[in-house]
A and B are shown apart, each in its own frame.
Chain A
Amino acid sequence: MGIALISETDAQALAPRPRASFIDFQTEPSRYRHWKLRFEGERAELAMDVDENGGLFEGYLLKLNSYDLGVDIELADALQRLRFEHPEVRVVVLKSAKEKVFCAGANIRMLAGATHAHKVNFCKFTNETRNGMEDSSRFSGQKFLCAIKGTAAGGGYELALACDEIILADDGSSTVSLPEIPLLAVLPGTGGLTRVTDKRKTRRDRADAFCTIEEGVKGKRAVEWRLVDAIATTSKFDAAVNAAAARLAATSDRPVGAAGIALTPLMREIGETSLTYALVRVDIDNAARRATITLQGPASAPPADVAALHAMGADFYSLRLARELDDAILHLRANAPEIGVIVFKSEGDPARALAHDAFLGDNAGHWLAREIVNYWKRLLKRIDMTSRSLVTMIEPGSCFVGILAEIAFASDRAFMFSGRMKGDDRPEATLALSALNFGPLPMSNDLTRLQTRFIGEPESVEKARATIGSSIDASDAETLGLVFESLDDVDWADETRIFLEERSSFSPDGLTGLEANLRFAGPETMETKIFGRLTAWQNWIFQRPNAVGPEGALKRYGSGVKAGFNRERV
């Protein structure tokens, strides 16, 4: 987790209490407390201006542009709106609206007081948001330039690392730093270590030195060590930022003259044990520690052309479904920690769903269609990364087709109903694949879910590809290896019940570890390293007494009293 270098703190921290009854991931610019968005033609300025009294929990002040989950929820919202509402924006300049500090990273008081589960969730969400910035740059033509004046410490520098380029003020006091180890005995876990070596390609010995220098690095050395791209004196800073922004914008393939679409508020009803959206319903069974997410298929044919798509905007099926499912997943992660299993179901017409996939595929060159597919890619990655057992139940009347079939492939197990249920006139369960299953929706390992699934049998990917567009019944799906098991009416109820009950009986920690290991076969990428290596180590360190014990560095931070360490290397 990115950790703040907050040198001035309130010494007496209270145990954090949430200010609201649940953590809401929905917001919009008029409600932002921590960010300022400004538009100027092809360029947007995203200025961090954290309201220190605006923490998500009580008991800490967000001083010096330090952040908590609430700040990051706004950031994620702003990024999403930049993608959809502002196709004209080719470069985003990320800066601080505060003097002398760019960003001090994640708030330490918040971390010290948060539950372990909250910390892990926070860390995951912030990582996803930063990965999303890189995704925007690579696939949506929206480039990021970070203009640092003042201190960029810990998570502050990690935010900068997610940008394409970093310009640092050469004023003798502006620095970049990852002071987590010397200051707090934890890691710069929001991608910091990975991006320093794999993205900035800083030499390992220099990276080692950088991560142990509490005050960080400034000026020429920051450039020499590849920690920033350029430095500029105060009087030349704005000119340098403008020039770099213009240069980055020139590399963008965002459309000229296109109008954005409005991401209108989601319709959402939150009940005791349910969450209801227009296309998504979540039913929570607390006793069974299980949530069932049911996705509705499209009610009509896709729009005739991109003009019609644009006119529909946020009402377009695939986009609305993505937004609702995204919110549902985030809600379960943050607000329902004891739900161990998520069961996915769907209801709808497979042909119409397939037609929507085809529409998106046919119009891949249009910015909005591209943006929607990119959104699904990030959302599916978020599902991959969700530390709950994921199960897809492909039942009669369902429409796990194309994009929706990816949910089955993202699941730890998918069960498919074979034949018909007694007294049920819904059509037999089928699966169908589209071109979107074979490239545009990769996992964080840069392989498609099918490639990852069939890592040892690449010919199976080809067999699956041969079925594009056709309907696959349960027995074929089993033969093709697309589902774990097909079950008929005789076995379905019992087998699935037993599976779910057994699943709920295992250790939640064991399952989290098991699933995170089995889901990501194949090569390492920066993203898999960030989640699999960096975050995992971080979460281990965060549990250890050297960090959070009564004498741990995180507990003692700010008191002036040194941490007491257990010196045993593990």
Chain B
Amino acid sequence: MNGSAAYVEGAVDYTTKIPNNVNLAEDGRVLKALEQWHPGYIDWWMSMGPEGFQASEVYLRTAVSIDPKGWAKFGHVKMPEYRWGVLLAPQEEGRLVNFGAHKGEKAWQEVPGEYRAMLRRLLVIQGDTEPASVEQQRHLGKTAPSLYDMRNLFQVNVEEGRHLWAMVYLLQKYFGKDGREEAEGLLERRSGDVDKPRMLGAFNEATPDWLSFYMFTFFTDRDGKMQLESLAQSGFDPLSRTCRFMLTEEAHHMFVGETGVGRVIERTCEAMKAAGIEDPFDIARIRALGVIDLPTLQKKANLHFSLSLDLFGSEVSTNAANFFNSGLKGRFMETKIDDDHRLTSAVYPVLKFIDGEIRMVDEPALTALNMRLRDDYVKDCQGGVNRWNKLIEKAGVRFALSLPSVAFNRHIGEFAGVEASPDGKLLTAAQWAKMRDQWLPSSGDGEFIASLMTPCWERGEYARWVSPPKVGVDNKPGDFDYVRIHAG
């Protein structure tokens, strides 16, 4: 995978210490900066990465090319030896800025001075989420329900690590001294730490169990996808190219989440049927079977959906307007949208809390971009929920999962100060307190789920609360040794 591969268009150069397709070998300054950053990264990975599995051999895919058809190569790797690198999608000839005040100008290959601070902030916020989720998930290996799941967890983890590399490369290449300082800062903050928390709320929440992990990768990684999609539109070409490649990896994370929840659903329905339980709300009997009841799945979805919505920021946002107008962050599928791509006179409907009620109000489209991206996100989530409901329907259980109202359980934006039910009705604090445990996981729910989290590390075996996958990774057979566990 080195040698001749290095000469192929789009191939990754493994001759340098840091695999890359950006010709680092001839960019001494950035190569040096990355090499200096590297030991700190490894320290971080060893102390904050997957706990207890650093010596295990994991069947991971490593990027060897950026050609969508053949970019990955699978093999057993010890995680600390994973070849993290800097990979950008290929440069498009003649790419333009496609939106905002600079629409039609040539895409920037260097950072425009006036946008330097703004862009840096965007990169740091995005960058901060990548190591955060690794930290949040570091204890999960111990309770993995199968080697297959364990391998998927670690794959997600190493790729989040690589996403951090991607952001750090941009910071070090284009943002000078400040960029190097920010790159250090990304290794210093810690998820959930009182003194040095990660920047965004959802990334300081615990991921206590595997159901949370599936929900997180479905809902929160999907926020990541939406953010990357809109940054992939950027007029700053290196950022666009970076995000386009990251999206290919992100797709796998959401696959893990969607199929994870799907497999829980299948297992639950199957167990209910076998035991002759028709009522999905017969929770005690269902739980006695050692599977997770569907109403609890709904609560988990409610929690992760609402936390992820907070990541979109305020519905009406000057920052979002500035990012767009400056050509730095576009909309989801920007180039496919049929409008002037400047939005200086357009409006967009925003759900707001006005005079004690929830109402749709037209706001200038420029300032409503967070709202718009969130709407696209909700649609994307709904697709996944529909597919889950197909599984339930197919199993013949009368139950449907749904997304709660965007006003439900919010801490940022229009609905931060109010309480609302999942169907969007406003509640008093007392009503909320009374109903909270019906809608969000209670401590009892948490204890029940925790009681199921016992490791299942035999080849080809699965914990009894989750079904096996339909197909193995890289088409491997069911009893494949995805992880060869060695203490460490």
Which chain B residue lies CB-closest to A170? Answer: B195
Select the stretch in B84-92, B143-151, B318-326, B468-476 that faces chain A.
B318-326
**Is A326's CB within 8 Å of the partner chain B?**
no
Tier of interface size on chain A? 20 to 34
Most buried by B among A171, A214, A235, A560: A560
Taking A6-B318, A233-B194 as given, write out 15 further A-B residue pairs in contact, using a Cβ cutoff of 8 Å, ordered by the A residue number: A8-B313, A9-B316, A10-B316, A11-B316, A11-B367, A171-B195, A172-B189, A215-B117, A233-B195, A236-B195, A557-B318, A558-B318, A559-B318, A560-B318, A560-B322
Q: What is the minimal beta-carbon distance from A154 to any residue of chain B, in angstroms?
A: 14
For B319, list chain A residues within 8 Å (CB): 7-8
A559-B196 CB under 8 A given contacts A9-B316, A11-B316: no
Separation of A8 and B322 alpha carbons in the complex (Å):
11
Does residue B317 face the partner (Cβ distance < 8 Å to A)? Answer: yes
Determine whether B29 belongs to the interface, using a CB cutoff of 8 Å to chain A: no
Across chains A and B, which 8 residue pairs bring their CB atoms closest together, nearest first?
A560-B321, A233-B195, A560-B366, A8-B314, A560-B325, A558-B318, A11-B367, A11-B364
Whether a CB of chain A sits under 8 angstroms from the CB of B121 is yes
CB-CB < 8 A to B195: which residues of A?
170-171, 233-236
- Note all chain B residues with C-beta closer than 8 A to A213: 117
Q: Within 8 Å of chain A (Cβ to Cβ): is B199?
A: yes
**How far is B320's CA from A171's CA once the two chains are assembled, in angstroms?**
24
Closest beta carbon of chain B to A386's beta carbon, Å: 36
A561 at the A/B interface (Cβ < 8 Å)?
yes
Residue contact B196 to A561, C-beta cutoff 8 Å: no
Indicate if A562 sits at the interface (CB-CB under 8 A): yes
Would A562 and B189 be within 8 Å (CB), given that A171-B197, A213-B117, A215-B117 are in contact? Answer: no
A97 to nearest B CB, angstroms?
Answer: 14
Q: Which of A173, A182, A559 has the most CB of B within 10 A?
A: A559
Instruction: Provide the residues of chain A in CB contact with B118, threshold 8 Å.
Output: 214
Q: What separation, in Å, do the CA atoms of A319 and B319 have in the docked complex?
A: 49
Q: Determine if B363 is an interface residue (Cβ-Cβ < 8 Å).
A: yes
Query: Chain A 546-570, CB within 8 Å of chain B: the 1/0 string?
Result: 0000000000011111100000000
Taking a contact as CB atoms closer than 8 A, the residue among B101, B199, B318, B363 that contacts A172 in the complex is B199
CB distance from B254 to the nearest CB of A (A): 28
- Identify which of A8, A9, A171 contacts B196 (C-beta below 8 A): A171
A10 to B414: give the CA distance in the assembly, Å: 11
Minimal beta-carbon separation of B359 from chain A (angstroms)? 14
Interface 1/0s, chain B 312-344, versus A by CB < 8 A? 011011111110111000000000000000001
* Interface size band for B: 20 to 34
List 22 A-B residue pairs with CB atoms under 8 Å apart, sorted by A's residue number. A7-B317, A7-B318, A7-B319, A8-B314, A9-B367, A10-B316, A172-B185, A172-B188, A172-B189, A172-B196, A172-B197, A172-B199, A173-B199, A215-B117, A233-B194, A234-B195, A235-B195, A236-B195, A558-B318, A560-B321, A560-B367, A561-B101
A431 to B121, CA, bound (A): 65
- Secondary structure of the A contact surface, majority rule: loop
> A residues within 8 Å of B by Cβ?
6-12, 170-173, 182, 213-215, 233-236, 557-562
Q: Are A9 and B318 in contact (CB under 8 A)?
A: yes
Which residues of A have CB within 8 Å of B321? 558-561
Question: CB distance B117 to A214 under 8 Å?
Answer: yes
Determine if B318 and A561 form an interchain contact, defined as CB atoms under 8 angstroms apart: no
Chain A residue nearest to B178 (CB atoms) is: A213
- Residues from chain B with a CB closer than 8 A to the CB of A182 are 117
Q: Which residues of chain A are within 8 angstroms of B320 by Cβ–Cβ distance?
A: 560
Which of B373-409 touch A at CB < 8 Å? none
Contacts of B189 in A (CB 8 A): 172
A215 with B367: CB separation less than 8 A: no
Contacts of B199 in A (CB 8 A): 172-173
Residues of A within 8 A of B196 (CB): 171-172, 233
- For the complex, what is the distance from the CA of A172 to the CA of B204, rounded to whole Å? 14
Known: A7-B317, A7-B318, A235-B195. Contact between A558 and B367, CB under 8 A? yes
Q: Cβ of A6: which chain B residues have Cβ within 8 Å of it?
A: 318
Residue of chain A at shortest CB distance from B363: A11
User: A172 to chain B: which residues have CB within 8 Å?
Assistant: 185, 188-189, 196-197, 199
Contact B317 A561 (CB under 8 A): no
Known: A7-B317, A172-B196. A561 touches B366 (CB 8 A): yes
Which residue in chain A gives the minimum CB-CB distance to B128?
A: A172
In the complex, chain B residues whose CB is within 8 Å of the CB of A7: 314, 317-319
Binary interface profile of B, 349-373, with partner A (CB < 8 Å = 1, else 0)? 0000000000000011011000000
Tell me the complex Cα distance, A442–B289, Å: 85
In Å, the complex CA distance between A12 and B189 comes to: 38
Chain A residues whose CB sits within 8 angstroms of the CB of B314 once the complex forms = 7-8
Complex Cα–Cα for A558 and B368 (A):
11
Chain A residue numbers with a CB within 8 Å of B197 are: 171-172
B363 surroundings in chain A (CB, below 8 A): 11-12
- Which residue of chain A has the shortest Cβ distance to B188 in the bound complex? A172
Complex Cα distance, B118 from A47, in Å, reads: 31
A151 and B409 alpha carbons, distance in the complex (Å): 25
Contact of A562 with B317 at beta-carbon distance under 8 Å, contacts A172-B189, A172-B199, A233-B196 already known:
no
Given contact pairs A233-B195, A558-B367, A8 touches B325 in the complex (Cβ within 8 A): no
Q: From residue A177, how far is it (CB to closest CB) to chain B in Å?
A: 11
Query: Least Cβ distance of A23 to chain B in Å?
Result: 26
The reply to whether A559 and B185 form a contact with Cβ atoms under 8 Å apart is no
* Complex Cα spacing A560 to B363, Å: 13
A320 to B8, CA, bound (A): 88
Within 8 A of A (CB), among B194-210: 194-197, 199
User: B420: shortest Cβ distance to chain A, in Å?
Assistant: 20
Which B residues lie within 8 Å of A215 (CB)?
117, 121
Q: How far is the CA of A559 from the CA of B343 in the complex (A)?
A: 11
Cα distance A10–B344 in the bound complex, in angstroms:
16
B101 surroundings in chain A (CB, below 8 A): 561-562
Q: Measured between C-beta atoms, what is the minimum distance from B350 to chain A in Å?
A: 10
CB-nearest residue of chain A relative to B364?
A: A11
A522 to chain B, nearest CB (A): 42
Which B residues, 275 to 318, have Cβ-Cβ distances below 8 Å to chain A? 313-314, 316-318
Cα(A214)–Cα(B185), bound, Å: 19
Contacts of B188 in A (CB 8 A): 172
* Distance to closest chain B CB from A7 (angstroms): 5
**Most chain A CB neighbours (cut-off 10 Å) among B197, B314, B321:** B321
State the CA gap A8–B189 with chains docked (Å).
26
A561 and B316 form a contact (CB under 8 A): no
With a cutoff of 8 Å between Cβ atoms, the chain A residues found around residue B316 in the complex are 8-11
Contact B366 A559 (CB under 8 A): yes
Q: Judge whether A562 and B185 touch: CB under 8 Å.
A: no
The CA-CA distance from A213 to B178 in the complex, in Å, is 12
Give B413's nearest chain A residue, CB to CB: A8
A12: B residues at CB distance < 8 A: 363-364
Assess whether B121 is in contact with A560, with CB atoms less than 8 Å apart: no
Question: Which A residues are CB-close (under 8 A) to B325?
Answer: 560-562
CB–CB B194/A561 < 8 A: no
- Residues of chain B within 8 A of A558, CB atoms compared: 318, 321, 367
Q: Most chain-A Cβ atoms within 10 A of its Cβ — which of B185, B195, B363, B366?
A: B195
Q: Bound complex: CA of A9 vs CA of B317, how far in Å? A: 7
**Per-position 1/0 for B163-187, Cβ under 8 A of A:** 0000000000000000000000100
Beyond A234-B194, A558-B367, A559-B367, whether A8 also contacts B344 by CB under 8 A is no
State the Cβ distance, B463 to closest chain A Cβ, in Å.
Answer: 38
Pair A559/B117 contact, Cβ less than 8 Å: no
Shortest Cβ distance from residue A63 to the other chain B in the assembled complex, whole angstroms: 10
B129 to chain A, nearest CB (A): 14
Asked if B344 and A561 make an inter-chain contact with CB atoms under 8 angstroms apart, the answer reads yes
The distance from the CB of B20 to the nearest CB of chain A, in whole angstroms, is 29
Contacting residues, chain A, for B313 (C-beta < 8 A): 8
Query: Which residues of B in the span 68-120 have a Cβ within 8 Å of any Cβ on A?
Result: 101, 117-118
A8 touches B318 (CB 8 A): yes
CA–CA, A171 and B322, complex, Å? 26
Q: Bound state CA distance, A278 and B322, in angstroms?
A: 55
Residue of B nearest to A221 (CB): B181
Alpha-carbon distance between A60 and B117 when the two chains are bound, in angstroms: 28
